[in-house]
């Protein structure tokens, strides 16, 4: 399947999703929203995909929402004539950026951002549900929503303070300033900065470390455990899931292979598949409904 706004390429167990509207700095539109959701659905269903890299074509990662609709850009009613009234529980008003980050949050594969240039608005907030963020030294970031008369979206009020801390999140979001990659590194938004031609090699090296050495089912479980249980109200919630996961994984062929390969000093060949071998207790949560 080909996409209008993305390039989707799987090679050696690593999927690269490239935002591909370079002539307008990969601005986010309705087609990109739909295609990103589909791309992550495909990735989760494909056992050949063990890690995902997201980057941008051209000189930008994503410069934010496509503003070609002018003043009506953020007006749902201007885009949807059926929203004549105001029903704030209507699924039709759901934020598209939030639907993307929630899909990334639910992903069963590790997601690495290779931020090759400006990442502003949804270009910045879509990064927050990704697991590792590497940036070019030329990248710039901006949570610019207050400067556009709106508010941070894409569930960033959940993700951003957990990543950078509340004081830093408040400063960036309240000022709406665009800031350089060095500030993103110092503030904890990205893990490392790279020369432009070294960014993707560094991202692929990180993806390879996961794809070549870690059991896919264990990676899928660990990703969800860390994202979901880091916000648990009590450590007993984590202990409950840890216990079930250790018990079920301990009986698996993956665990036997992990120990045997270590003792035999060889690379592991994990047989478990995310598509068929997730434990019976997974998922352990009930998805929240939009209401």
Q: How far is 156 from 162, CA to CA, in rounded Å?
A: 10
In this predicted structure, what is the pLDDT of residue 78?
A: 59
In order of start, what are the domains of the chain with their CATH numbers?
6-210 (3.90.226.10), 215-291 (1.10.12.10)
Between 96-105 and 30-45, two packed helices, what is the crossing angle to 10 degrees? 10
Q: What is the pTM of this model?
A: 0.94
Task: Check whether 15 has a pLDDT greater than 80.
Answer: yes
Q: What are phi and psi of 198, to 5 degrees?
A: -105, -5
Burial class (CB in 10 A: 0-12, 13-18, 19+), 9: exposed
Task: Calculate mean pLDDT across residues 34-61.
Answer: 98
Q: What is the mean pLDDT of the chain?
A: 94
E strand or H helix at 257: helix 253-263
Q: Is the dihedral of CA 126, 128, 131, 137 positive or negative?
A: positive
What are the pLDDT digits (tens) for 103-159?
Answer: 999 999 999 999 999 999 999 999 999 999 999 999 999 999 999 999 999 999 999
């Amino acid at each position: 399947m080909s996409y209008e706004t993305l390039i989707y390429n799987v090679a050696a167990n690593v999927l690269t999703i490239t935002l591909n509207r370079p002539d307008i700095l990969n601005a986010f539109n309705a087609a990109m929203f739909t295609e990103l959701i589909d791309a992550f659905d495909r990735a989760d269903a494909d056992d050949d995909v063990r890690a995902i890299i997201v980057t941008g074509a051209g000189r930008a990662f994503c410069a934010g929402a496509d503003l070609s609709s002018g003043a009506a850009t953020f007006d749902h009613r201007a885009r949807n004539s059926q929203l004549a009234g105001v029903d704030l529980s209507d699924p039709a008003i759901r934020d598209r950026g939030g639907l993307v980050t929630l899909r990334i949050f639910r992903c069963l594969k590790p997601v690495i951002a290779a931020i090759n240039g400006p990442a502003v608005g949804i270009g910045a907030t879509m990064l927050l549900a990704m697991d590792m963020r590497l940036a070019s030294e030329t990248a710039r970031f901006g949570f610019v929503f207050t400067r556009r008369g709106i508010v941070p979206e894409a569930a960033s009020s959940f993700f951003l303070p957990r990543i950078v801390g509340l004081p830093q999140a408040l400063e960036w979001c309240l000022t709406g300033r665009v800031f350089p990659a060095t500030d993103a590194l110092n503030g904890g938004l990205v893990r490392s900065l790279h020369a432009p031609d070294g960014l993707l090699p560094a991202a692929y090296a990180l993806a390879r470390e996961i794809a070549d050495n870690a059991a896919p089912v264990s990676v899928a479980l660990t990703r969800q455990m860390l994202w979901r249980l880091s916000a648990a109200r009590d450590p007993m919630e984590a202990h409950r899931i840890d216990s079930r996961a250790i018990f079920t994984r301990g009986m698996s062929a993956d665990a036997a292979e992990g120990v045997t390969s270590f003792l035999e000093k060889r690379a592991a060949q994990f047989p478990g598949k995310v598509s068929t071998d997730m434990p019976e207790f997974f998922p352990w949560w009930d998805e929240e409904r939009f209401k």
